[in-house]
Structure 1
Amino acid sequence: MSIERVLAPLEAALPDLEALYVDLHQHPELSFAETRTAGILAARLERDGYEVHTGIGKTGVLGILRNGEGPVVMLRADIDALPVEEKTGLSYASTARGTDAQGNDVPVMHACGHDMHATWLSGAAALLAASRDTWSGTVLAVFQPGEEQGSGAARMVDDGLFDRAPKPDFVFGQHVTPGPAGWVLTRPGVIMAATDSLRITLHGRGGHGSRPETTVDPVVLAASVVLKLQTIVSREIAATDSAVVTVGSLHAGTASNVIADDAVLEVNIRSFDPDVRDRVVAAVHRIVRGEAETAGAPAPPEIETIASFPVTRNDEIAVGDLAGAFRDHFGAERAMEAPLVTGSEDFGHFGTATGAPSVFWLVGGMDAQTVIGAMTEGRFERDIPSNHSPKFAPVLHPTLRTGVETLVVAALHRLSHPSVG
């Protein structure tokens, strides 16, 4: 079996894939509202001969391509966008708006590259369908909603994803990054961090700004909490361990001369080790409650988990085999080991739910010369927009080709290969 034979139609397919990507980029949809996106992707799977199931976990799509006896290989892409106003300046930049989970009207952008992920999987699914004489087994193409909320994978599983499809023998996924376009990176064991996002409501007692002595000021309380939380990593986590605590949102008050009743913080925690994760989360709870008590808050704070992502952990054997296949196909100068990533994914839920070995990898998406120059000059963090930035914009080529190739190589590496003349 020749991978080159399966990939031969890719060059001719690139204009269609570019058009798909641009369309998805111009029409982003928030988590669990990806109805247009799901419809387009489902129609393409049907065109390519897949058995298609829609509405899984609300807006998820499953394509099943049965092609004789052999392993079941699952390929996954996430499809949701973010409440971010695009500032890339691209001719196809998003001007879309949507309604967030709190009912607010917000700008919407594919600031994390999920439009690229969906395009990659659609392209790979088409190539695998067109080359069924070269392999046998079953391909599952899963387009997952709600990754940004950390619950899309679980919702698909809980909604019967694997009642509709056979359980996979292998689960594969990938993510575009601000690395050099054409690079493919993975690593054994943990590759991405766990995340816990907490919404904290601090209760005060409001009043007139001229009479603070009659109040319990939640803004002052919130400021104390924010500063104290920064001591968790610096004073409670060993230097040999790793964690991040970020207060990403703080809202309180409506006017300069009014002391509010409440303040609301949203805190994001990143960790790689379960024990570290437990210690950090417990420390957040302890500090928030302690500061509220010290301030004389009239009621205990409310601490709500609004999102939780597990660590993304690659199966040691499967990732070693696949890394070798990537090196064989792309060359060692393009396929290499990834660094630990403090970003998070809910991809790992599929492998956990099925017991199947899973592998997740990264595909560079930025102009290679620009990125390498910024790295060399120590300007990478300053000059190269990261995922979730309003300026994050993968270059189309060779990013489109590379991501399709990685999925095809991964699938063919595990599917059975009858004798091909």
Structure 2
Amino acid sequence: MPSSPSPHTDLTDLPALAGLYRDLHAHPELAFCEHRTALIVAERLGACGYETATGVGGTGVVGVLRNGDGPTVALRADMDALPVEEQTGLPYASSARATDGNGNAVPLMHACGHDVHVSCLLGAAARLAADRSSWRGTLLLVFQPAEEVGRGAGAMIDDGLFERFARPDVVLGQHVAPLPAGYAGLHAGPAFAASDSLRVVLHGSGGHGSRPEACVDPVVMAAATVLRLQGVVAREVAGTSTAVVTVGALHAGTKPNIIADHAELLLSVRTYEPAVRTSVLRAVERIVRAEAAASGAPRDPEISVTESFPAVVNDPEASKRTRRALAGALGEAQVVDPGPATASEDVGMLAEAAGAPCVYWLLGGADPAEFAAARTVEDVGRVARALPSNHSPLFAPVVEPTLRAGVATLSAAARAWLTAR
């Protein structure tokens, strides 16, 4: 295991925190494999005086700092990386590789910015621990594994997160995004979409490519299914609602002159409203089965859910309170409403299990110079859409002022809920 920076480094010092961030970025780990990251987190929390537990929900870390009577505030950061080959060219770029759950050798990259999340929460943890005279209550820091596969929050909940440590009065967190660094984006109400990932196996009858009449071609079946699925959002979802149906992968066959005996589709479905979610999933299943029947498939298709987690809904009143804190930390004009995102997150499961309000915001991570010519909110949106975004091999948040702002927002949001002395 590669060595890490000293656990006794003062993380209230921003250059030291930046060094830790670069180290985390260079050493990404897949879901439920965040062993090195968890060790670093636990060492840093212990050095700041937090009661620390590891192995929660697999590789999760929990830090608790009790500072007299008062509310309990949960601050959450996710730790896992993605099987993406980094192309940023940064001097601290990842060259790591690992074996995934299917036995495949894959490159690793913090292409979603979870290294930013961990670093900012460690910085905020150090700052809040160093100034205990100004607040009272309990800090519950949740460093969560496996957000990318939608199972980390559930694993920590099932491992007794709130029964073993503390039940929070509010769950707070942030996600880095291609907004200008120094800005935050907070949307009250449904803020991140529910996510359902499906695996579909279509069965055909294989044979020689020269004799398609003697076969049932699953590639044609899959192609027809993919095209038909595009009509779900266009023709079965009301214009006042939102849904996304994406076929992210189609696998079939080995050679040009062989008709395969099956094809596999991997789907991603995003929705906000429970009724729309149910309707879209039923439509997907109906279309898959109908196309298989229309093609004369010898067997029914297999449809399985591989990942599923609900929408993140920011409590309106809690969002107002938290927004004031963010504006106090960054400036009124630097806190914007980005609208709902069709990306998904499992942080809402923590709030739901705790019976507490959730407030989850976007943290700007893009170079502010990219936005220098922007004059309107629409201009900012156009620039943001043109930049490499989360999950891109080119995604590279600027270190400063991203970390400075991320520490400030988490610290200010926590203080807004903790009782002042």
TM-score in terms of structure 1 length:
0.95
Equivalent-residue separation in structure 2 for 1:384 and 1:283 (angstroms): 34
Q: CA deviation at 1:94?
A: 0.5
Q: CA deviation at 1:41?
A: 0.6
Equivalent-residue separation in structure 1 for 2:121 and 2:42 (angstroms): 12
Determine helix, strand or coil for the equivalent of 1:90: coil
Q: Does 1:384 align with 2:387?
A: yes
Which residue pairs with 1:412 in the alignment?
A: 415
Equivalent-residue separation in structure 1 for 2:112 and 2:65 (angstroms): 28
Letter in 2 for 1:117: H
Determine helix, strand or coil for the equivalent of 1:339: coil
Equivalent-residue separation in structure 2 for 1:227 and 1:362 (angstroms): 34
Task: Output one character per residue of 1:278-323: Cα deviation in whole Å (capped at 9) or x when no partner.
Answer: 1111100000000001101111000110111211001111111111
Which residue pairs with 2:131 in the alignment?
A: 131
Q: CA deviation at 1:328?
A: 2.8
Equivalent-residue separation in structure 1 for 2:16 and 2:164 (angstroms): 30
Alignment of 1:53-132 (within 5 A): 53-132=53-132
Q: Does 1:355 align with 2:355?
A: yes
Which residue pairs with 1:403 in the alignment?
A: 406
Which residue pairs with 1:5 in the alignment?
A: none
Alignment of 1:13-28 (within 5 A): 13-28=13-28
Equivalent-residue separation in structure 1 for 2:15 and 2:195 (angstroms): 37
Determine helix, strand or coil for the equivalent of 1:33: coil
* Structure 1 gap segments, 5+ residues each: 1-9
Which residue pairs with 1:170 in the alignment?
A: 170
Cα distance 1:415–1:220, how it changes in 2: closer, same or farther (>3 A)? same
Q: CA deviation at 1:12?
A: 6.0
Alignment of 1:222-241 (within 5 A): 222-241=222-241
Equivalent-residue separation in structure 1 for 2:30 and 2:21 (angstroms): 17
Task: Output one character per residue of 1:258-295: Cα deviation in whole Å (capped at 9) or x when no partner.
Answer: 11111000010111111111111110000000000110
Q: CA deviation at 1:369?
A: 2.5
Alignment of 1:184-263 (within 5 A): 184-263=184-263
Identity percentage of aligned residues: 56
Which residue pairs with 1:6 in the alignment?
A: none
Query: Is the contact made by 1:371 and 1:384 (CA closer than 8 Å) also made in structure 2?
Result: no
Letter in 2 for 1:211: R
Equivalent-residue separation in structure 2 for 1:414 and 1:98 (angstroms): 40
Equivalent-residue separation in structure 2 for 1:349 and 1:376 (angstroms): 34
Equivalent-residue separation in structure 2 for 1:34 and 1:184 (angstroms): 27
Tell me the C-alpha RMSD between the 2 structures.
1.6
Equivalent-residue separation in structure 1 for 2:372 and 2:239 (angstroms): 29
Which residue pairs with 1:181 in the alignment?
A: 181
Q: CA deviation at 1:325?
A: 2.0
Which residue pairs with 1:32 in the alignment?
A: 32
Equivalent-residue separation in structure 2 for 1:19 and 1:305 (angstroms): 40
Equivalent-residue separation in structure 1 for 2:49 and 2:157 (angstroms): 24
- In the comparison of the two structures, how many residue pairs are matched? 410
Determine helix, strand or coil for the equivalent of 1:230: helix
Equivalent-residue separation in structure 2 for 1:366 and 1:80 (angstroms): 21
Which residue pairs with 1:7 in the alignment?
A: none
Letter in 1 for 2:404: R
Determine helix, strand or coil for the equivalent of 1:149: coil
Task: Output one character per residue of 1:71-96: Cα deviation in whole Å (capped at 9) or x when no partner.
Answer: 11110000000010001111111011
Cα distance 1:183–1:381, how it changes in 2: closer, same or farther (>3 A)? closer
Q: CA deviation at 1:377?
A: 9.0
Determine helix, strand or coil for the equivalent of 1:320: helix
Query: Is the contact made by 1:78 and 1:144 (CA closer than 8 Å) also made in structure 2?
Result: yes
Equivalent-residue separation in structure 2 for 1:329 and 1:115 (angstroms): 22
Letter in 1 for 2:402: T
Determine helix, strand or coil for the equivalent of 2:250: strand
Equivalent-residue separation in structure 1 for 2:334 and 2:146 (angstroms): 31
Letter in 2 for 1:81: A
Determine helix, strand or coil for the equivalent of 2:333: coil
Cα distance 1:382–1:178, how it changes in 2: closer, same or farther (>3 A)? closer
Equivalent-residue separation in structure 1 for 2:100 and 2:248 (angstroms): 17
Letter in 2 for 1:366: A
Query: Is the contact made by 1:112 and 1:387 (CA closer than 8 Å) also made in structure 2?
Result: yes
Alignment of 1:331-370 (within 5 A): 331-370=331-370
Task: Output one character per residue of 1:129-157: Cα deviation in whole Å (capped at 9) or x when no partner.
Answer: 11111111110111000000011001100
Q: CA deviation at 1:379?
A: 5.1
Letter in 2 for 1:404: V
Cα distance 1:271–1:67, how it changes in 2: closer, same or farther (>3 A)? same
Cα distance 1:137–1:36, how it changes in 2: closer, same or farther (>3 A)? same
Equivalent-residue separation in structure 1 for 2:37 and 2:327 (angstroms): 33
Determine helix, strand or coil for the equivalent of 2:239: coil
Equivalent-residue separation in structure 2 for 1:134 and 1:246 (angstroms): 48
Q: CA deviation at 1:373?
A: 4.1
Letter in 2 for 1:193: A
Query: Is the contact made by 2:12 and 2:123 (CA closer than 8 Å) also made in structure 1?
Result: no
Letter in 2 for 1:39: L
Q: CA deviation at 1:372?
A: 5.4
More off after superposition, 379-388 vs 32-41: 379-388
Cα distance 1:102–1:11, how it changes in 2: closer, same or farther (>3 A)? closer
Equivalent-residue separation in structure 2 for 1:45 and 1:229 (angstroms): 48
Which residue pairs with 2:3 in the alignment?
A: none
